Amino acid sequence: MLAAIDQALEAAIGWWSASTSFAILAAFLVLVAVALPGRVGVTVLAAFRGFRDRMPRVLEGVAAVTDADGLQVQGTNVRFAALDAPEFNQIAKIGEDDDWINHGLLVKNALAERIGSRPVHVEVETWDRYGRAVGTVTQDGRDIGEWLVRQGHAVAAYGDRYREAETHAKRDARGMWGYAKSFDPRFWRHRHKARK
């Protein structure tokens, strides 16, 4: 049975991107495992773990910027590890007398300009619940996540990896740290989730 599940998973990879296949199959296998009695459910979960372990650990290629902290590389959605960037609809005000701007779009455009059409290298650390690869993105040996935080385009999150870069951005009033009004992306999401 494990071999049959393995073959089905391999076939699914050819139909969609790896991240889409991962998300759909993960959800399906968890539902099947919960519904099946005893040993059969355990077998399904073991197949899922084997599939997850065979997901790519390295992605390389030209990236399409999808949002302020997301890319698509080789058809796989990628999220930057250890940082949080403004949501697409998040607003900010650069100067007191300025109009409100779409902060998420501003950061997305800055990221697209930084990356350009040169290939990136992604060291995949894990896969999130949405089937996205989460990892460190570099280009020409430079950490793009660290650049986002150092420019004040993102905040250090989920650990201390980029704390020093954030400290420099705050000290130098770069990006969101120099704006008249801006919001930590976590606060923004929490505030807007509460309004819905």
The whole-number pLDDT of residue 70 equals 98
Over 90: is that where the pLDDT of 36 sits? no
| Averaged confidence pLDDT in the chain | 84
What is the separation, in whole angstroms, between the first and last Cα of the chain?
45
The whole-number pLDDT of residue 34 equals 62
Q: How far apart are CA 135 and CA 3, in angstroms?
A: 30
Architecture of domain 58-195: Beta Barrel (2.40)
Over 90: is that where the pLDDT of 68 sits? yes
Over 70: is that where the pLDDT of 167 sits? yes
Q: How far apart are CA 33 and CA 91, in angstroms?
A: 43
- Model pTM above 0.75: no
Nearest CA to 21 out of 8, 39, 34 is that of 8
* φ, ψ dihedrals at 127, nearest 5°: -125, 130
Q: Is 108 exposed, middle or buried (0-12, 13-18, 19+ CB in 10 A)?
A: buried
Over 50: is that where the pLDDT of 109 sits? yes
For residues 135 and 121, is the Cβ–Cβ distance under 8 A? Answer: no
Measure the CA angle with vertex 112, ends 87 and 52; round to 5°.
70
Percent of the chain exceeding pLDDT 90 equals: 63
The whole-number pLDDT of residue 74 equals 96
Over 80: is that where the pLDDT of 40 sits? no
Helix, strand, coil in percent for the chain, rounding step 5: 45, 25, 30
The whole-number pLDDT of residue 152 equals 97
| Domain locations along the chain | 2-53, 58-195
Q: Which helix (H) or strand (E) holds 84?
A: strand 83-84
Within 8 A by CB and 6+ apart from 165, the residues are 146, 149, 150, 156
The whole-number pLDDT of residue 53 equals 62
